[in-house]
Amino acid sequence: MPRSDSAGYARNSRDDVIDAALRILDQQGLPDLTMRHLAATLGVAPSALYWHFPNKQSLLAAVSDRIIAGARPLAADSGDWQIGVRTEAAALHDALLAYKDGAEVVSSTLALGLGAGDLQRRLSAAIGVGGFDKQTTSLAAETMVHFIVGHAFHRQQRIQADSLGAVAQEHSLDREDPAVDHREPRAFELGITLLVAGLDAQSRAAADR
């Protein structure tokens, strides 16, 4: 595509474009994150964005990478791989929830194989401390990615629907019962614990054979 807006290119770096995209995502949501809206926000012609991104999919991939990069730093080596995995999973989950529709953006990017690879890399590194073989580590990390992203996606949909009054009263996050308000975070923690325990049990069974 012709680079017809050199002034816009010079005025906005790649990081500037990603920053603006994240602001639109967080304040207005994914449906409003269009190339035209993004260009208007930056004060440039839409063609200027293509200096940095050939299409919207590549932009969303970069946004996904930035969302994942916002996760807290890797946990210090405690010597306990299970603690490390749970810590990483929680940090990555929090990063997805940090932006409105963040989990949906990351999910679509993963589905297309365009970005957010640090999700699996970080989990693989944490799982690998347990001494598992490469294939087991990779499959376990992929399984956890699906769970983490799926849970965050569901939670953000619920929050959005609840804000619009579209959730059945018995499932509303606005209920005063703490047991209901905190059910989803506890379910996430239990899910990761079960995945970690299952991986540990499988490794023990293999060692006993």
Q: How would you write the pLDDT of the chain (209 residues) with one tens digit per residue?
A: 334 444 444 578 999 999 999 999 999 999 999 999 999 999 999 989 999 999 999 999 999 999 999 898 665 666 789 999 999 999 999 999 999 999 999 999 998 888 778 999 999 999 999 999 999 999 999 999 999 999 999 999 887 766 655 555 555 555 444 334 455 678 899 999 999 999 988 776 665 55
- Cα(106)–Cα(120) distance, rounded to whole angstroms? 12
Nearest-angstrom CA–CA distance, 79 and 129? 8
| Of 159, 69, 143, 61, residue with least CA distance to 108 | 61
Cα separation values, 139 from 83, 123, 147, 190, Å: 19, 11, 13, 20
- Encode pLDDT of 55-75 as tens digits: 999 999 999 999 999 898 665
CATH of the domain at 27: 1.10.10
Rounded distance between C-alpha atoms, residue 157 and residue 35, angstroms: 23
Q: Is the pTM of this model over 0.85?
A: no
Alpha carbon distance 1, 163 (integer Å): 41
Residues 46 and 98 in one domain: no
d(CA 102, CA 191): 20
What's the CATH number where 132 sits?
Answer: 1.10.357.10
User: 25 with 80, same domain?
Assistant: no
Is 73 in the same domain as 157? yes
Kindly state whether residue 62 falls inside one of the protein's structural domains: no
Residues whose CB falls within 8 Å of the CB of residue 147, separated by 6 or more in sequence, listed in order? 191, 192, 195
How many domains is the chain built from?
A: 2
Model confidence pLDDT, tens digit, residues 145-178: 999 999 999 999 887 766 655 555 555 555 444 3
| Same domain flag for 46 and 104 | no
102: domain range?
A: 67-208
- Whether residue 170 is contained in a domain is answered as yes
Q: 133-141 — which CB contacts under 8 Å span 24+ positions?
A: 136/199, 136/202, 136/203, 140/195, 140/199
Residues 167 and 79 placed together within one structural domain of the fold: yes
